[in-house]
Amino acid sequence: MLRRAFASLAVLVCAEGSLASAPRWSWTLGTATPTGSPTAQLVTDLARDLEKATGARIRLRFDAVLGTEAYMTSLLRKGDLQMWAGSTGALADHVPALTVLEAPYLFANVDTFARAMTPEVLARPALDGAFKAAQMWPFASYFLGWRAMSSRSRPMLAPADAQGVKVRAQPAALHAAMWKRLGARPLALDLPAIGGALQAGLVDAVDLPPLFLLATGGHTVLRHHVRTEHMLQSVFVAFHRPTFDALPEAARAAVRALQRKHAERVNARHEALEGELVAALEPSMEVTLLTKEQRAAWRTALAPLEEDAARLGGPVGADLLKAVRARMR
């Protein structure tokens, strides 16, 4: 199911309105995703669901190379892409409020995430306004896996083990802040560049969920995987806002009706896969589950990142975090 190759994905969506008199729309969805991975399956399933809901014909094209997440989200803002699927960190460059969703240890489990990230939360006026200003409409957010510390020479059992280590940082402000607080030496790299950087010795550690570690080939180079589970890795699907708003109301309603059902199905699938993916690491890596005391030490070390996330998220982020925490109770 998983392949080491990492490719950019383009989905050409040709949709027909629910009424015979409605026009035909041709949409392009872009994402950087591991080929053959559950993330790619997410996009395929979404295309099928959109076809069923709107009476559309959908053609998928997987051979286009669209570039980095930063580049693709810029295309989405301009309307050169009509849909995009990718990391919360990348989307936070355009909607800073989303930064609060990556605060360490915010979500205790997948259930709390699912209860929090509902269509109602995404439609809160402040957050909806921030997405509108970015020319985007948020369809859904999904659980993808738990980030963990994977390293070359020694396991990162304690925060001090990151001191001075050359690490890959996701190109997002909060991720850079995390590594700097740990005293590591971060190098910002997009996901497709990780495999080459590891092979060349440019980085000696990453924090990735098992899915991405396998997809980038990191498990063939790194020897230790410590399940810190310090951050929930989520993926967003967003629409180009003017394109979505231009649809007939019947078509918009059909798309909205998919939000909850699709998220529930994807979250359940990815949660069930997590154990399988961790097991796939074990033949080549030493996989360690932290003790209660070790996890507490990581929580303490990363607690200041909550302030960084709040600062980066601003007032809209504070409103989002309040709503999220209310739904997790």
Do the domains 6-144+234-275 and 148-231+277-324 sit in the same CATH topology, yes or no?
yes
Alpha helices in the chain (DSSP H): 38-54, 69-78, 88-91, 110-116, 119-122, 125-133, 173-181, 194-199, 210-215, 241-245, 249-281, 292-302, 305-328
CATH says 6-144+234-275 is which class?
alpha beta
Domains of the chain, by residue range, sit at 6-144+234-275, 148-231+277-324
Per residue in 150-187, pLDDT tens?
999 999 999 999 999 999 999 999 999 999 999 999 99
CATH number of 148-231+277-324: 3.40.190.170
Residue 34: which pLDDT band, with cuts at 50, 70 and 90?
low
Q: Which residues pair with 16 in a beta bridge?
A: 24
Residue 35: which pLDDT band, with cuts at 50, 70 and 90?
low
* pLDDT (mean) for 111-126: 97
Per residue in 261-301, pLDDT tens?
999 999 999 999 999 999 999 999 999 999 999 999 999 99
Burial 146-180 (b: 16+ CB within 10 A, else e): bbbbbbbeebbbebebbeebebbbbbbbbbbbbbe
Using the predicted structure, report yes or no on whether residue 17 has a pLDDT greater than 50.
no
Q: What is the pLDDT of residue 250?
A: 83
